[in-house]
Copies of this chain bind each other. A is one copy, B any other.
Amino acid sequence: MTQTPEAQEINLRIPGPTPVPAAVLQAMARPMIDHRGPEFAAILARVTDGLKYFFQTSADILCFPAAGSGAMEAAVVNLFSPGDPVAAVTIGAFGNRFAKIAETFGASVTRIEFPWGQAANTQTVLERLADIAGLRGILLTHNETSTGVTNNVQALASAIRAQYPDVLIAVDAVSSLSCIDLRMDEWDLDVVFTGSQKGWMVPPGLAMIAVSPRAWKANQQARLPRMYWDFAWAKRSLDKGQTPYTPPVSIFFGLDASLEMMRAEGREAIFARHQAIGELTRRRARELGLELLADPAFASNTVTAIKIPQGIEVKALRKALREQDHVVIAGGQEQLEGKIVRVGHLGYVHQPEINAAMDALERQLVALGYQLPSPARQR
């Protein structure tokens, strides 16, 4: 068996999977039920309703047994046809993945890239869009998990919509939704998706995707092949209180329980908690004399990317934190591997876990020869 005492004490500070509250774990330990029966239909309806509150939408929300990358693929194949001109605004690894999926499936993709650590600049985006004939869709990242940067989707979408009233705006909100304000209807977004293992305090395995009326219209014309991800099939099933194929029942049990907790706390209170936690994390990092990767104006309240000074091996640092302090943080991806660490602070997170993680980071940095700045050394 895999149960270890250590596992119980881990301070899991990666940007997903995130810690799951005991009440949610307990809800998930329920015996299986019939996924075509009345009880599951009631859970599906309740969960969908709770999701709408956090997506701030009256649009349809569809749930797929999948990781967040599956939701990216679903957005692409449900909106577009081969050759459709699509702009992919990318500020990091997950923006690149979204772009690559659209390319793989045959859209004509223009990548609008920004340096890792920066947010997308609205003016630059508009200038680049002007070069694209017959623009059909735009792929945006709300919160880029690889860099700890949150785009101003409201400003981007508003500027884009003013010039392209019919363009399809698809937003990767995997690591932001429910933690950082995102108003699907007010900002006039078309497809918005997230994953259960991020802000929702539930294990991974479920992707949730909202589909605007404009996206539904596009879906009828979109000719990319699809079956598993087909929005129309999912919607026909949802209207009967079902899913097209077997749903991840235990994840639904968990999400049902976590949404109840989250609604009790309230949307705005959760946003405020994440803002406070984000600020705390950044302050603690700066006090250690460490530089943050993200442009301060766009620093994410769900994940913080911290530059690690040359001479300190990130792999050794993470290993020491994991083995000695039971603090688990993420490394950098692709071009940032070995250069940064990432501290996740989304979902079920409060000040003590962040302080414990940053205390441990301080200790291990010092153990690896890092010189603290004077004020921090006096702590």
- Which A positions have Cβ atoms within 8 angstroms of B? 1-4, 7-8, 10, 12, 14, 16-20, 25-37, 39, 43, 65-70, 73, 100-101, 104-106, 195, 197, 203-206, 224-228, 244-251, 253, 256-257, 260, 322, 328, 330
Contacts and interface: CB of A to CB of B under 8 A. Distances in A.
Nearest to A233: B69
B249 A203 contact: yes
A64 to B, nearest CB: 9
Given A25-B29, A68-B245, 9 more contacts: A7-B31, A12-B34, A19-B32, A29-B29, A73-B227, A73-B228, A104-B227, A204-B246, A204-B250
Contacts of A3: 27, 30
A21 B101 CA distance: 39
Nearest to A251: B205
A173 to B, nearest CB: 15
Contacts of A65: 65-67, 70, 204-205
A150 B196 CA distance: 36
Contacts of A2: 27, 30, 39, 43, 253, 256-257
Copies in the complex: 2
A69 B17 contact: no
A248 B248 contact: yes
A18 to B, nearest CB: 7
A42 B12 CA distance: 18
Contacts of A30: 2-3, 7, 25
Contacts of A37: 322, 328
A244 B104 CA distance: 16
Nearest to A71: B228
Nearest to A203: B250
Contact of A245 (B67, B105, B253): B67
A17 B35 contact: yes
Residue from A10, A104, A204, A244 having most chain B Cβ neighbours under 10 A: A204
B17 A246 contact: yes
Residue from A66, A68, A101, A228 having most chain B Cβ neighbours under 10 A: A228
A260 B1 contact: yes
A93 to B, nearest CB: 11
B35 A25 contact: no
A255 to B, nearest CB: 10
A34 B260 CA distance: 26
Nearest to A14: B34
A33 B16 contact: no
Given A204-B246, A228-B69, A250-B205, A31 B19 contact: yes
